[in-house]
Amino acid sequence: MQLLYGAPVAQQIEDDIALLKDRHQLNDVAIGLTIVVVGRDPASALYVRNKTKASERLGIIAQVLELAEDISSKELETQIRRLNENPDVHGILLQAPLPKHLPFDQAISWIDPYKDVDGFHPLNVGKLISDQAVLKPCTPAGIMRMLNFYQIKTTTNILVIGRSSIVGTPLALMLSRPGIDSTVTLAHSKTTNLEPLVRQHTLIISAVGKPIIPKEWLSTDAVVIDVGTVPMTDAQGKRYWVGDVDPQAICKAKSPVPKGVGPITVAMLMYNTVQAYLLQQGLR
């Protein structure tokens, strides 16, 4: 079984960032990214550390704005709008999940769409639908890069499991574009006939966020991109991670969890941050 590691794909994206900065003479320009974190979620803390490390490596100035878990919706809006008005901040990322009392979709709409490095703002979603987007959702865009890097055939029937606006839905849209030409079936955790769908497809991308695919469902010819990252704890209390797919599954190729899609998502975030700077400077 071939393991589809994310590190070489992330390195290719970082190389593209270096070329982009050279082309536009940005190596001495202070490109600023602010990561807004509300509360203290352990998983979010790990993701934020990975993002700040990547920023340092690529010469992007990353700052973390930590806000109290009980912050009001109004105060969160005020903080985001301050970042919109700050000329030193070129990218804004609102780290998910938010506490339950805060509306994530509404909070995303408060971000200046030209600084929306996650690609979730309604304006950027509309541009994605019309195939005009520059700032695309990081994980779907990263998966597209992964498929290209490993030369995985896309002119075929693809099963995408997960209908979120963060991964599944935008990914299905990207895969169906002219030139990619996939025929996409979009399933989800409530799909009643999921097992036969999995058995029918040889290219499966799962982004549900919980173990949902037993090893028996997969053929040995299947290629699986596993986006799920589910924290587990062993008998000794040590934390580890699994994906949507049974880790014992044997198939033709599979992205591991961790070390699969995660590094690519972080690299795409950095790429979007540079693209956001170029948009704001009228260089796109």
How far is residue 179's CA from residue 221's CA, in Å, rounded to a whole number?
24
Judge if pTM exceeds 0.85: yes
3-state secondary structure of 242: strand
Mean pLDDT per block of 10 residues along the chain (284 residues) reads: 97 97 94 95 80 95 96 97 98 94 95 98 96 96 98 96 96 96 96 96 96 95 94 86 93 96 97 98 88
> Is 51 considered catalytic here?
yes
- Say if residues 133 and 123 touch (Cβ distance below 8 Å): no
In the set 112, 115, 116, 118, the catalytic residue is 118
Which pair of tokens denotes residue 105? 């979709």
Q: What is the pLDDT of residue 138?
A: 97
Q: What is the pLDDT of residue 41?
A: 73
* One-letter amino acid of 23: R
User: Is 169 known to sit in a ligand binding site?
Assistant: no
Domain 138-261 class in CATH = alpha beta
- Say if residues 85 and 58 touch (Cβ distance below 8 Å): no
User: Is 229 known to sit in a ligand binding site?
Assistant: yes
> Is 95 considered catalytic here?
yes
User: Is 177 known to sit in a ligand binding site?
Assistant: no
In the set 21, 51, 115, 254, the catalytic residue is 51
CA atoms within 13 A on the CB side of 233: 3
DSSP 11: H
Q: What is the pLDDT of residue 237?
A: 86
The fold for domain 20-117 equals: Rossmann fold (3.40.50)
> Is 11 considered catalytic here?
no
Peptide bond into 258 cis (omega under 30): yes
Domain ranges of the chain: 20-117, 138-261
* Same fold: 20-117 with 138-261: yes
How far is residue 35's CA from residue 269's CA, in Å, rounded to a whole number?
11
